Chains A and B, each alone.
Chain A
Amino acid sequence: MELISKFRLYLNLTFALAWRDVRVRYQLSILGLYWAIINPLLMAIIWAFVFSHIFRAASLNNVPYVVFLFCGLTYWNLFGNSLSTATTSLTGNAMLLSKQYFPRLILPTAAVLARVVDFFFSLLVLGLLMWYFHLSPNWNLWMLLPLLVIELFYTLGFAYIVSSLNVLYRDMAQLVSIVLMFWMYLSPVFYVLQQVPEKARRYFMYNTIGLLVDAQRNIFLAGTPVNWHQVLVSFLISLAVLIAGWTLFRWLEPLFAEVM
């Protein structure tokens, strides 16, 4: 009973902090939360112009390249942006940590949740793009939900790792942004896995987030049947990452107050 009310309290606190993160990002601007949709929309428009009229990029997955790219980036950014804001979620809230005890895990979790809000706005723009190009989503769409949960597990696991390490070593933030850049180009965001040379492709199969982005985009745009075996493996890996991140975080947590 006590435990349940505690859990509810911490859950509410997580949502409140996530909402605060979202508002901090947008509230000082005139257009406020509209930026969350204007930003990806402008991106989509400029890409549509560049890729269809200048590069004349071929369609991938039977959809215009701009739709393909935007869909991939929507799923990648959920991971990438979450990690880059989670990294400083503890060090940036040092004052909150010095006051009252609450599970520190709440801070990186809230940072990731705040990015889920961005993700949904980005999906909305993706819907607009598809409508513009007369593409219709398919009946397999419900499969996106479990895959999204898997991606969130994976993201949270890494968020716990980088946020706690950043307390001890402040250049974690630099490292994360560089690693994320390499990681993005080495993931099937701008291309499909089939374009990767045969020899290298087996290494790409170890990149769980890459596979997740690819799988979700396939479902979204092409309605490709899901490879259950691959989903199961991704799920197990994501769960392992989540548990590892959680464990590392809990292990380092007693040091936070002393180091900051």
Chain B
Amino acid sequence: MPIDVENVWKKFRLRQQRVHSISKFLHEMLERRAVSGPAADFWALKDVSFHLDAGDSLGVIGVNGSGKSTLLKLLNGIMRPTRGRVSVRGRRSALIELGAGFHPDFSGRENVYLNGMILGLDKAQIRRKFDEIVSFAELEQFIDIPVKYYSSGMYARLGFAVATAVDPEILIVDEILAVGDLAFQQKCMDRIKKMQAQGVSIVLVSHGLNDIGQICRQALWLHKGAPMRFGQTGAVLDAYLEHLGMPRAGVGGGNGTAVTG
């Protein structure tokens, strides 16, 4: 299976005052204080397990601080679990902080190349996809100016276009649909659905239950790091809404009935 998450726990150490510099370290030594304040363990994820088949889609929901972002970072490979096992097989691409890796002094063109390489493409592959990336981002006129002159929307559009152009087998998405204007949001949504139809596995974290309902076949509800429920999207969303004290809205998987809030 492309994604296996088995009994994953993730611990962070919350220190009252982490020593960030050597001078501070010495200073605290001199004052005979404890070098780092009392360390409190914080479990951001507690015993989370799930599997995702190729081409399947998972929505992750939960209130702020439930561990959704930590889970994405584990899936994306930039953090490792404290306990348990995370295995992700296949080329992954993440729609997280779009365009975050761009260098402001370089042109859009140069940033597309560097970002594409970071995402695992070689130069020839990027060259072949270049025009498609630029036209999707609607930046034909601006591709050769430094991205520091871009608006935040242009930034995010280019970021989205590059991240989805790398032909990922697994797409990890964090609150993507807040990109640009409504028309572009629709375009992004369409592209995600198209990738899904082509067999790309998708993990989507969102507060927009409507998006989750539209895209994801399965859902995982996290609360304070613990898995509350995992299963068919409709059932999980119902349970989640009930927990929040909202009326069941019948957000059927695939139908996309509108839910606000």
Contacts from A to B (Cβ < 8 Å): 8-9, 12-13, 16-17, 20, 23-24, 27-28, 95-102, 169-172, 175, 254, 257-258
Per the bound structure, the CA–CA distance linking A98 and B101 in Å amounts to 8
Is the pair B22, A169 in contact by a Cβ cutoff of 8 Å? Answer: yes
Is the pair B12, A258 in contact by a Cβ cutoff of 8 Å? Answer: yes
Q: Does B132 contact A (CB under 8 A)?
A: no
Counting chain A CB atoms within 10 Å of each CB, the highest count among B25, B93, B114 belongs to: B114
Is the pair A17, B122 in contact by a Cβ cutoff of 8 Å? Answer: no
Residues of B within 8 A of A24 (CB): 103, 105
Return the chain A residue nearest B172 by Cβ: A100
Given contacts A12-B123, A100-B78, A257-B78, A171 and B114 within 8 Å (CB-CB):
no
Q: Does B119 contact A (CB under 8 A)?
A: yes
Residue in contact with A16 in the complex, picked from B79, B80, B101, B117, CB distance below 8 Å? B117
Residues of B within 8 A of A17 (CB): 114
Least distance between B110 CB and chain A CB atoms (Å): 8
**In the A-B complex, the 5 residue pairs with the closest CB atoms:** A101-B77, A171-B21, A95-B100, A96-B101, A257-B78
Is the pair B113, A16 in contact by a Cβ cutoff of 8 Å? Answer: yes
Please report the number of residue pairs spanning A and B whose Cβ atoms sit closer than 8 angstroms. 71
Given contacts A254-B79, A257-B73, A99 and B117 within 8 Å (CB-CB):
no
Q: Does B128 contact A (CB under 8 A)?
A: no
Per the bound structure, the CA–CA distance linking A24 and B113 in Å amounts to 16
Least distance between A33 CB and chain B CB atoms (Å): 15
Per the bound structure, the CA–CA distance linking A175 and B25 in Å amounts to 14
Interface of B is mostly: loop
Q: Does B214 contact A (CB under 8 A)?
A: no
Q: Does B244 contact A (CB under 8 A)?
A: no
Q: Does B76 contact A (CB under 8 A)?
A: yes
Residues of A within 8 A of B101 (CB): 95-96, 99-100
Per the bound structure, the CA–CA distance linking A90 and B58 in Å amounts to 33
Chain B interface category by residue count: 20 to 34
6 new A-B pairs (CB below 8 Å) besides A99-B78, A169-B20?
Answer: A28-B105, A98-B100, A99-B94, A100-B93, A254-B79, A257-B73
Is the pair B117, A13 in contact by a Cβ cutoff of 8 Å? Answer: yes
Residues of B within 8 A of A8 (CB): 122
Per the bound structure, the CA–CA distance linking A128 and B122 in Å amounts to 38
Per the bound structure, the CA–CA distance linking A12 and B19 in Å amounts to 37
Least distance between A259 CB and chain B CB atoms (Å): 8
Is the pair A101, B76 in contact by a Cβ cutoff of 8 Å? Answer: yes
Residues of A within 8 A of B77 (CB): 100-101
Least distance between B124 CB and chain A CB atoms (Å): 11
Least distance between B140 CB and chain A CB atoms (Å): 23
Is the pair B114, A99 in contact by a Cβ cutoff of 8 Å? Answer: no
Residues of A within 8 A of B189 (CB): none
Q: Does B177 contact A (CB under 8 A)?
A: no
A/B interface sample: 24 pairs, CB < 8 A: A9-B117, A12-B117, A13-B117, A13-B118, A16-B114, A17-B114, A24-B103, A24-B105, A27-B105, A28-B105, A96-B100, A96-B118, A97-B78, A98-B78, A98-B97, A99-B118, A169-B22, A169-B25, A170-B21, A171-B23, A172-B22, A175-B22, A257-B79, A258-B12
Least distance between B144 CB and chain A CB atoms (Å): 14
Per the bound structure, the CA–CA distance linking A101 and B110 in Å amounts to 20
Residue in contact with B20 in the complex, picked from A13, A101, A170, A254, CB distance below 8 Å? A170
Is the pair B103, A20 in contact by a Cβ cutoff of 8 Å? Answer: yes
Q: Does B96 contact A (CB under 8 A)?
A: yes
Residues of B within 8 A of A175 (CB): 22
Residues of A within 8 A of B120 (CB): 9
Per the bound structure, the CA–CA distance linking A89 and B123 in Å amounts to 24
Residues of A within 8 A of B113 (CB): 16
Is the pair A99, B105 in contact by a Cβ cutoff of 8 Å? Answer: no
Q: Does B106 contact A (CB under 8 A)?
A: yes
Residues of A within 8 A of B79 (CB): 254, 257-258
Least distance between A80 CB and chain B CB atoms (Å): 21
Is the pair B76, A20 in contact by a Cβ cutoff of 8 Å? Answer: no
Is the pair B76, A100 in contact by a Cβ cutoff of 8 Å? Answer: yes
Per the bound structure, the CA–CA distance linking A248 and B114 in Å amounts to 28
Residues of A within 8 A of B117 (CB): 9, 12-13, 16
Counting chain B CB atoms within 10 Å of each CB, the highest count among A12, A27, A169 belongs to: A169
